Structure formats: structure tokens, C-alpha cells
Amino acid sequence: MTAAAVLDASPKLSARPRTLSPLLALARGIGTIVAVLLFASFGTFALGAIAGSSPGAVALGSDATPAAIAAFDHNVGYDRPMIVRYVDWLTSALSGDLGTSWFSGIPVAKSLADRLPVSLSLAGLALLIAIVVGGAAGILAGMRRRTIVDRAITVTSGALSTLPPFVAGIGLIVIFSVGLGALPSGGYVPATAGFGTWLSFLILPAVALSLDAACEITRQLRTGIVSAMEENYVTGAVVRGLTPRRIMFGHVLRNAAGPALAVVGLHIPRLIGGAVVTEAVFALPGMGQLARDSALQGDIPVVQGILLVVLGLVLVSNTVVNVLLERLRPHAARADS
């Protein structure tokens, strides 16, 4: 039985301080993070070994002889049993040392430190656009349900959600980079080069990447609002003379936002790790590209490092979303009223 179910089943428990439920969700989240990290990192390790990738094979290139590869692998201790190597890696990883790329010789932690800001900037901005634009459109459509505004928003979001990011990306480049000459068509500069410049390189890929999430947020929020508006408590609130604004933001949205928030949680992994195609179209040096290249090269330490970071990010963001969902539950709010 989950913590949330316990809260539902027992009226006594729901009288506890409202912070408990988010705390339980947090604890559960952290437990999941540790278990999943261990399981997934071991899985990657094992898959790398099964695929026949080894430091010598990757570092010495295709011209190397099997003898040279074996000698190289022996020198770096790769001929030890896999479980020993895994424990070794895990111990180093816990102290912050993720090893060195077999392919480029660049420390994995450095590669990740280079790539993470790019991916986080892209995913963060895409998420912001999705929440702001998708949220606004969803609320608007829900408020004006079954009007021309609602229809227009529903049809537009339905159509846009079918656009894969690379098609949207190419379209945006053609319009804004080639047509208007307003924004760069690709590449990345860090925010230290100036906020405007940083944003100018990110805005097109972020918009392309956000479409799917934005449309889904719009649809979920609209549906949630429409069904919540038909609930008795809304009628009650209207009878009590509450302003439409207070009804919407104080009550309806609270009930209707759950599914949309869950959608946000589901999209975060796609925005961080799944931006491979968007990164390719816009030549962004993000984690997606690094993951793809490293996997193709059989560069296990890098794949392992990326896995660790992406998994960490996903689990942390999911935990945050779970905590927020708990916080949104109407009875959680009622508990202290």
C-alpha cells in the first residue's frame, strides 16, 4: 500500500501535519533513486562487457592487433572479473571520479560538466515554454469550453503535437534563421557570453523540443478543467458568490492540474536524454549527442556517466513532481484548514 493510499484510507492520518505526505514521497523517491541507479549502472556495465567493448579496442582504433588490445586491457586492469571492475567503478564514482573516456581520453566528469549545462538549459527552457504556453492555452480552452477559442486551441495543439521535433526544428530554422536572419541556425554559447546571446542560440531548439509537451499539457489541463467545472463544489462555490477567478485558481485548477503535472514528469526524461535529434538538427553539444556517439563508439565509461547523471536528474525531477502532486491533493490542503 502506498503512502498516498494510507492517507486516503485513514481519516486519522490525514489529520497529521500537511508536510508529512510530501516528506514520505521524498523518502520513497530517494529510495527508488538508489535502487534504480545501482540496477541500471550494473546493467550498462554488463551490456558493455557482453557487446565486447574494451578500453584497448576503443582507444587503439581499428588498426590495433588483438595482442595490442589484450596488452592494453591488461595494463588498465580490464582483464579482471566484471564484478570486481564494477565495484571498482562504483567506489570511484561515489567519490566523484567517473573515469576517463576510452575514446577521447577526456575525463568523463569533465565531459559531463561541459554537456550538462547545454542539456539543462535546453530542457529547462523547453519545459518552461511548455508549461507557460501549454498551461495558458489549456486554461484558456478549459475556461472557454466549447467555444471557438476552445476549438481553435484543441485543433492547433492536436496538429502541432504530430510534428516531430526535427520537422519543427527545420521549419523554425527556415523561418527564423534563413528567412528572417534573426536567430542562429545552430551551435551553442554558454550564458557567460551574455544572456541574450545564450538565449538566441537556445530559443529555436527549445521551442522545437517543447511542442510535444506543450500540446499534451494543454490537452490534459483543458480536459481536467472541463470535468472539474462540472463538479458540485464548483456549483457550490458559484452559489456562495466566489469570483470566477477565485474558483478557477483556488479550486478548479488545483483539482485539474494533477494529470498535467504528471505529464510534465513524464516529459522530463524525454527533454533531457531524448533530445538527440533536436541536438543534431541544431548542432548542440548536449548529453543526447554525447550519449549517441559514445554508445556507437562502445565508450562504456562515458555511457555509464551519462546514465548516472540522466537517471539522477530524472529521478530527482520525478520526486519533485510527486511531492508537488501530493501537495496539490485537495485533502492535503484541507488538512490544515
Partner 1 sequence: MNRLTVKLIALLTALVAVTTACGAGNAGSSDPTHLTWGWGMPSSWDPVASTAGADVHSLSLVYSGLTKQDPDGKAVPEAAKSWAYNDDGSAITFTLRDGLKFSDGTALDATAVKKSLERGRDAEYSTKRAQLAIIASIDVLSPTEVRLTLTQPDYQIPDLLAGLTGMIVSPKAFESDPKSLATKPVGSGPFELTSYTPGSEAQLKKYDGYYNAADIHIKTLTQKQPADDSVIIAGLQSGQYDIAVIPPSQVEAAKKAGFDVDVNKVLTVRTLDINNTVAPFDNPKVVEAIKYALDRKALVDKAFFGFGDPNYQPFPSGYVANNPALDNLYPHDVKKAKSLLAEAGYPNGVDLTLTSYDTGGLAEQIVSQLGEAGINVKIQTLPLAQASQQIYIKREAPFALDSFSGRESPAQAMEVLFGPEGLMNLGRNTPPEVVTAMQKISTTPTDDPSYPTVVQDAVAVAVKAMPNAFLFSWPRIFARNKDVKGFTPYIGAQRFDGTKIEAS
Residues 83-102 that bind partner 1 (CB under 8 A): 100
Residue 86 or 282: the one with the smaller Cβ distance to partner 1 is 282
At 207, is the secondary structure helix, strand, or coil? helix
Q: Cα Rg for the chain, rounded, in angstroms? A: 24
Q: Which of 196, 232, 241, 336 binds partner 1 (CB under 8 A)?
A: 196
Grid coordinates representing 212 are: 510535444
Query: Please, which of residues 258-317 interact with partner 1 by CB under 8 A?
Result: 280-285, 289-290, 293, 295-299
Q: Is 65 in the site for partner 1 (CB under 8 A)?
A: yes
Residue 258 or 285: the one with the smaller Cβ distance to partner 1 is 285
Q: How far apart are CA 90 and CA 75, in angstroms?
A: 20
Alpha-carbon distance values, 257 to 322, 324, 325, 329, 333 (Å): 13, 10, 9, 10, 14
Q: Which residues lie below 8 Å from residue 259, measured CB to CB, with a gap of 6+?
A: 220, 221, 223, 224
Residue 63 or 230: the one with the smaller Cβ distance to partner 1 is 63
Grid coordinates representing 90 are: 562504483
Q: Which of 3, 7, 59, 217 binds partner 1 (CB under 8 A)?
A: 59
Residue 3 or 206: the one with the smaller Cβ distance to partner 1 is 206
Burial class (CB in 10 A: 0-12, 13-18, 19+), 144: middle
Residue 90 or 167: the one with the smaller Cβ distance to partner 1 is 167
Closest separation between CB of residue 49 and partner 1, Å? Answer: 13
Hey, which bits of 11-74 come out as E strands? none
Query: Please, which of residues 162-181 interact with partner 1 by CB under 8 A?
Result: 166, 169-170, 173-174, 176-178, 180-181
Closest separation between CB of residue 292 and partner 1, Å? Answer: 10
Choices 7-15, 47-55, 82-90, 157-165; region in contact with partner 1 by CB under 8 A? 47-55
State the binding string over 123-152 for partner 1 (x if CB under 8 A, else -).
Answer: ------x--xx--x--xx--x---------
48 closest CA partner among 307, 313, 269, 254: 307
Closest separation between CB of residue 40 and partner 1, Å? Answer: 20
Would you give the DSSP letter of residue 101?
-
Residue 64 or 82: the one with the smaller Cβ distance to partner 1 is 64
Choices 182-190, 209-217, 303-311, 316-324; region in contact with partner 1 by CB under 8 A? 182-190
Alpha-carbon distance values, 1 to 6, 7, 8, 32, 90 (Å): 7, 10, 11, 16, 32
Helix axes 108-129, 287-297, angle to 10 degrees: 140
